[in-house]
Amino acid sequence: MNVGIIGYGNMGSSFAKGLKERVSNIVVFDVSEEKLKKALEEGFGTAKDLSFLVKSSDLIMLAVKPKDAKAVLESLRDLLGERVLLSIVAGLSIGNIESLLGKKKIIRAMPNINVVVQKGVIAYACNDKVSEQDKEEFVIVFSACGSLYQIAEDLIDAFTALAGSGPAFVFKFISALITAGIREGFSYEVSRGIAIDTVLGSCELLKALGGHPEEWITRVASPGGTTVEGIKVLEDRAFSGIVIECIEKTREKAKKLC
């Protein structure tokens, strides 16, 4: 599959890097000359315009900001033909895309930035023009970037909050752990390493051994021990409630983006 990427920003460039080993031909188009230069330096082909990009690609990924998506889709209307349009634009529904593009093959996906290290989580929904074969090819190629979930389109905004924005919330937690470590006397480098390895190891444990995180908390928090003192602070400050509200507010914003 030849992949064309429109927009070589955070996500377009992350996907290009994540797909590199599986896709031999990746072509990029961006309005920014600087971004095109970066794409070339990073080993990707560049297109001088949208028409060239579409002609060189079987699947075209739309990776521009929501405010720029409408203009790009209008320009693609007469270029796309039977090619697949993969949109990762938050808040932009398949219905919105069809109203600008016409009834074309459309996959709406929501990834996260972890695709750059091939550990992304990507949800997707398709319109009825996308064949089983198109879908299979998409899954084979994009599974290079992480795990894929086909979900009902009405859950994509919730997925955007949990997984699309999720890395930012996880980074916030890790950043707080690092600061706490520095406050306790570790250097930044050591504290960063401790925080990342603790989060990574806890995730690997949950993945490998299963079980609800609360069950594992009981194994860490010894009766009358240290951990439960910290858990009490998190409970007193409604840590879970804060996270749940964070996801709710993020999901609500996705509805208002486009």
Ligand X SMILES: NC(=O)C1=CN([C@@H]2O[C@H](COP(=O)(O)OP(=O)(O)OC[C@H]3O[C@@H](n4cnc5c(N)ncnc54)[C@H](OP(=O)(O)O)[C@@H]3O)[C@@H](O)[C@H]2O)C=CC1
Ligand Y SMILES: O=C(O)[C@@H]1CCC=N1
Query: Applying CB under 6 A, which residues contact ligand Y?
Result: 90, 160, 164-165
For ligand Y, give the closer residue by CB, 9 or 230. 9
Place of tokens 């990707």: 44
Token pair listed for 187: 């250097």
Q: What's the rounded Cα separation, in Å, for the pair 242 and 240?
A: 5
> Minimal distance in Å, beta carbon 257 to ligand Y?
7
For ligand X, give the closer residue by CB, 147 or 198. 147
> Minimal distance in Å, beta carbon 254 to ligand Y?
7
For ligand Y, give the closer residue by CB, 57 or 160. 160
Question: Is the separation of the CB atoms in 50 and 79 below 8 Å?
Answer: yes
- The residue whose Cβ lies closest to ligand Y is 164
Question: Is the separation of the CB atoms in 140 and 87 below 8 Å?
Answer: no
For ligand Y, give the closer residue by CB, 96 or 191. 96
82 alpha-carbon distance from chain centroid: 26
Smallest Cα–Cα separation from 192: which of 181, 208, 203? Answer: 181
Parallel, antiparallel, or unpaired for β 105-110 and 120-126? antiparallel
Integer-rounded Cα Rg, in Å, for the chain is 21
Q: What's the rounded Cα separation, in Å, for the pair 246 and 238?
A: 12
> Minimal distance in Å, beta carbon 180 to ligand Y?
26
Token pair listed for 217: 């908390």
For ligand X, give the closer residue by CB, 71 or 176. 71
Interface ranges with ligand X (CB under 6 A): 6-12, 29-32, 35, 63-66, 68, 71-72, 88-90, 110-113, 164
Residue 81, annotated ligand binder?
no
Q: If contact means CB under 5 to 8 A according to the sort of partner, which of ligand X, ligand Y, none does residue 219 touch?
A: none
Residue 9, annotated ligand binder?
yes
Residue 64, annotated ligand binder?
yes
Residue 174, annotated ligand binder?
no
- The residue whose Cβ lies closest to ligand X is 9
List 48's β-bridge partners, or say none: none
In Å, the largest CA–CA distance within the chain is 69
Residue 10, annotated ligand binder?
yes
Residue 84, annotated ligand binder?
no
Residues annotated as binding site for NADP(+)?
A: 6-11, 63-66
Could you tell me which residues are annotated as the binding site? 6-11, 63-66
